[in-house]
Amino acid sequence: MRALELDQLRTFVTVADAGSLSAAAPRLFLSQSSVSEQLRKLEERAGVPLLVRGKQGAAPTPAGLRLLAHARRILALSELALQDLRGHTLDGELRLAVTDYFRPGEIAGMLRRLRERYPRLRLHVTVMKSGMIEAGAQSDAFDIGLSMRLPGARKAAAGRGERGAVLRREALAWVAAPGESGALDAPLPLVLLPDTCSLHQYVVQMLRRRRLDYVVAHSASGVAGLQLALAAGLGLSCLNESAIGPGVARIDAATAARLRLPALPAAEFFLLPARAGEAPLVGQVRAALAEQFA
Side-chain half-sphere exposure of 17, counting CA atoms within 13 A: 21
- Judged against a pLDDT cut of 90, whether residue 280 lies above it is answered with no
| Full-model pTM | 0.70
pLDDT digits (tens, 9 = 90+) for 99-120: 999 999 889 988 988 888 788 8
Same domain, 96 and 160: yes
Structure confidence at residue 87 as a pLDDT band (50, 70, 90) = low
- Listed residues 86, 120, 140: the one ending a domain: 86
- Listed residues 54, 86, 118: the one ending a domain: 86
Q: Under a CB-based contact definition with an 8 Å cutoff, are residues 146 and 269 in contact?
A: yes
Same domain, 22 and 72: yes
First to last CA, the chain: 37
Give the model's pLDDT for residue 109: 87
Same domain, 191 and 59: no
User: Which domain does 101 fall in, by range?
Assistant: 92-169+269-293
Helix, strand or coil, per DSSP, at residue 205: helix
Structure confidence at residue 84 as a pLDDT band (50, 70, 90) = low
Alpha helices in the chain (DSSP H): 6-18, 21-28, 32-46, 62-86, 107-117, 130-135, 151-159, 198-209, 223-231, 253-258, 280-293
Can you give the length of the chain in residues? 294
DSSP-assigned beta bridge partners for residue 97: 126, 145
CATH code at 140? 3.40.190.10
Same domain, 22 and 165: no
Number of domains in the chain: 3
In a domain, 1, yes or no: no
In a domain, 17, yes or no: yes
The pLDDT > 70 percentage for the chain reads: 93
